Amino acid sequence: MKKIAVVSGKGGSGKTMVTTGLFKMLSKTENVTIADLDVECPDAGIYINNKKITDKITTSVFIPSFIKEKCTGCKKCETACNFKAISFFDDAITIFEELCKSCLRCVNVCKTGALTTRKIDYGEISVYDVKGRSFFEGQLRIGDIRTKNLINEVKKLSEKSENTYVLYDSPPGTTCPMVAAVSSVDLVILVAEDSLYGFNDFQLAFSVVRDMKLDYWVLINKYVPENSPVMKWCNENNVAVGGCIPFSDKIHSHYSKGNNILELSEVADCLEKAVSHITGGAQ
């Protein structure tokens, strides 16, 4: 199985367009799974037609629960918590569910049994069949912060499909969710928006991928050849650019109407290069 994560430092760079386009293209000849890891705002499903839901899985974690009668007020639990999810007020403690990381360190240090555990739900994974291919979509509970937990659960589930390829539509940015998405993948496709803002965030994403020593393939979206900060930087730093999708009102209009992006040769030609790179070294 070869795992491919599509990332971008900036939201709106085009990674979902690229991921779903690659899924459609690979589906013609390969066994491929797609997973939406942008669990705070999943949108890959908007661009995947003919999907039928086959399962919904609720994801849960254990958090501490307080028994006041057994508490001696030693405050070891408060000291042990690195996330400030436990605070003492008068002679009782308050547990902030939204801050708890479910490490249960507080429960382990409590010697009186004043802290036990209880289970809470924090997200949901929808499983779809797409003409014999699998699509997994994670959706975080509103107000919850357990993004990494849900990303890891979606990845575990998608990898059980045992298909030749798994495509991850990663969350934008370069913080913990993005790092969780690219961890242990075989290839990262870096989608760079060809603007000053997009260029800045592409550099940040590139630094993360480079520091994690991951294989990568650069794709410039909204490419303007006569004034391309991304291409200029890549040339100056010996970073190979695998393909470019031009800045085009036709592409934007076609895609925003929900049409198949592969109908446009400007996009299809670039994604064919990406597919060739992906399939050239399948594991």
pLDDT digits (tens, 9 = 90+) for 180-207: 999 999 999 999 999 999 999 999 999 9
Assess whether 141 and 250 both reside in one domain. yes
For the domain that residue 242 is a member of, what is the CATH number?
Answer: 3.40.50.300
Q: Are residues 85 and 214 in the same domain?
A: no
Q: Could you give the CA distance from residue 176 to residue 37 in angstroms, rounded to a whole number?
A: 12
Instruction: State pTM to two decimals.
Output: 0.91
Backbone angle region of 154, left / alpha / beta, with phi > 0 → left and psi within -120 to 50 → alpha: alpha
Residue numbers of the domain that contains 228: 2-50+131-279
Do 170 and 116 sit in the same domain of this protein?
no
Q: Please check whether residue 92 lies inside any domain of the structure.
A: yes
Q: Among 69, 96, 121, which residue terminates a domain?
A: 121
Report the DSSP beta bridge partners of residue 95: 86
Report if residue 116 sits inside a domain.
Answer: yes
Same domain, 148 and 275: yes
Residues 199 and 101 both lie in one domain: no
* H/E segment holding residue 250: helix 249-256
Shared domain for 149 and 226, answered yes or no, is yes
Would residue 56 count as lying in a domain?
Answer: no
162 — pLDDT class (breaks 50, 70, 90): confident
Residue 283: its pLDDT value, please?
A: 42
Q: Which of 80, 17, 82, 73 has the alpha carbon at shortest distance from 43?
A: 17
Asked if residue 126 belongs to a domain, the reply is no
Residue 128 in this model has a pLDDT that exceeds 70: yes
Sheet architecture: strand order including 165-169: 51-66, 115-130, 133-140, 32-36, 165-169, 2-7, 187-193, 216-223, 241-246
Distance (Å, whole) CA 225 – CA 211: 29
What's the total number of domains in the chain?
2
Is 55 part of any domain?
A: no
Phi, psi (5° rounding) for residue 252?
-60, -45
**What pLDDT is stored for residue 161 in this prediction?**
82
C-alpha span between 32 and 133 (Å, rounded): 6
pLDDT at residue 28 tops 60:
yes
Do 187 and 267 have their domain in common?
yes
Q: What is the pLDDT of residues 40-73, one digit of tens each?
A: 999 999 999 999 999 999 999 999 999 999 999 9
What does the pLDDT average to over 255-278?
Answer: 94
End-of-domain residue from the set 121, 149, 171: 121
Instruction: Report the chain's mean pLDDT, rounded to a whole number.
Output: 94
Do 158 and 235 sit in the same domain of this protein? yes
271 falls within a domain: yes
Q: How confident is the model at residue 282 (pLDDT cuts 50, 70, 90)?
A: very low
Q: Which residues contact 47 (CB under 8 A, 6 or more apart)?
A: 16, 17, 20, 258, 261
pLDDT tens digits for range 167-178? 999 999 999 999
Q: Which of 126, 120, 122 has its CA nearest to residue 57?
A: 126
Identify the pLDDT of residue 143: 87
**Domain stops at, among 102, 121, 140:** 121
For residue 158, being part of any structural domain is answered with yes
Confidence of residue 116 (pLDDT cuts 50, 70, 90): very high
Whether residues 68 and 142 share a domain: the answer is no
